[in-house]
Amino acid sequence: MKDLMTAEYLDKEDATALILAAKRKMGLSWEGIGEAIGMSPVWTHSACMGMNAFSEEKAGALVALLELPETAVPALVESPTKIWEQTVPTDPCIYRFYEIVGVYGPTLKALIHEKFGDGIMSAIDFDMEVTRIENPKGDRVEVKMSGKFLGYNAW
């Protein structure tokens, strides 16, 4: 097993392992990391997990904040290959999002088509925010998603 802190080359998985170890060691939150580098916590986490590419500037800021080796920067700015399993995951939190899409996906699609026409909500030009809302019956999770509407072309 290679020593990631002194390796000449790191891939996205290596960089992710270093990020998670540093985050844990420093006691940081994704909110704190995102704020420190000037990005949203949602996007920061996604990029740290290898699903998005950092700009050179943001990768450098993350490397400095987490005291990672400079060899992590090229891995963090490299365009990702977004491969994810098509099977329903067993993690309860992630599974519930699949359940939401399974139950409400056709409804969301119908409402988008009704309001915008035939097309999709972009996951490329996309924002997401996760907020805790205090409630005496039990705190609530609010997930706001905003994606650019992309109409289908007729040709």
Q: How confident is the model at residue 29 (pLDDT cuts 50, 70, 90)?
A: very high
More confident residue, 3 or 52: 52
**Domains detected in the chain:** 12-77 (1.10.260.40), 92-151 (3.30.1160.10)
Task: Indicate whether 7 pLDDT > 90.
Answer: no
Task: Indicate whether 83 pLDDT > 80.
Answer: no
pLDDT, mean of residues 1-18: 82
Q: Which residues are catalytic?
A: 96, 99, 122
pLDDT, one tens digit per residue, over 123-143 is 989 999 999 999 999 999 999
pLDDT, mean of residues 22-46: 95
pLDDT, mean of residues 91-113: 88
> pTM for this structure?
0.75
Q: How confident is the model at residue 84 (pLDDT cuts 50, 70, 90)?
A: low
Task: Indicate whether 68 pLDDT > 90.
Answer: yes
Element (H, E) at 129: strand 119-133
Contacts 24+ apart (CB under 8 A), 70-77: 71/7, 71/8, 71/9, 71/10, 72/10, 72/14, 72/15, 72/18, 72/19, 74/10, 75/10, 75/11, 75/12, 75/14, 75/15, 76/12, 76/15, 76/47, 77/53
